[in-house]
């Protein structure tokens, strides 16, 4: 959260669970930081310092396109995967975990 404020660029945070996304939203609201949640149909990031996405949204072509667009416009700083160990644990349980490497 602090890094997004300091560098004035976009950070994308991917998490494996909706409940974790909701926890992030709660923390960002308490910190009074502006953020957006990546939703179906989006192909660009809003002009916000933090973009939140669940793994199923992050493996879509729209998310990849949003990263490419933001990177080309020099506004994308970093991609963070929260609870990355879940990718290895849940890859047999959730198909989107197998596809996270496409990002």
Domains and CATH numbers, the chain: 2-102 (3.40.50.300)
Per residue of the chain (103 residues), what is the pLDDT tens digit? Answer: 666 666 778 899 998 888 899 999 999 999 898 999 999 888 888 778 899 999 889 888 899 899 889 888 888 888 888 876 565 555 555 666 666 666 6
pLDDT of residue 2: 63
Digit-coded pLDDT (tens) for 70-86: 888 888 888 888 876 56
Q: For the whole prediction, is pTM greater than 0.75?
A: yes
DSSP string covering the chain, please? -HHHHHHTSEEEEEES-HHHHHHHHHHHHHTT--EEE--TT--S--S-SEEEEEHHHHTSHHHHHHHHHHHHTT-EEEEEETTTHHHHHHTTT-HHHHTGGG-
């Amino acid at each position: 959260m602090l890094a997004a404020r300091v560098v004035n660029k976009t950070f994308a945070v991917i998490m494996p669970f909706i409940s974790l996304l909701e926890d992030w939203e709660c923390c960002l609201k308490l910190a009074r930081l502006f953020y957006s949640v990546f939703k179906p149909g989006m192909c660009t990031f809003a002009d916000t310092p933090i973009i939140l996405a669940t793994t199923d949204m992050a493996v879509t072509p729209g998310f990849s396109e949003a990263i490419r667009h933001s990177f080309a416009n020099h506004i994308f700083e970093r991609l963070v995967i929260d609870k990355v160990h879940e990718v290895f644990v849940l890859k047999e349980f959730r198909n989107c975990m197998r596809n996270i490497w496409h990002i």
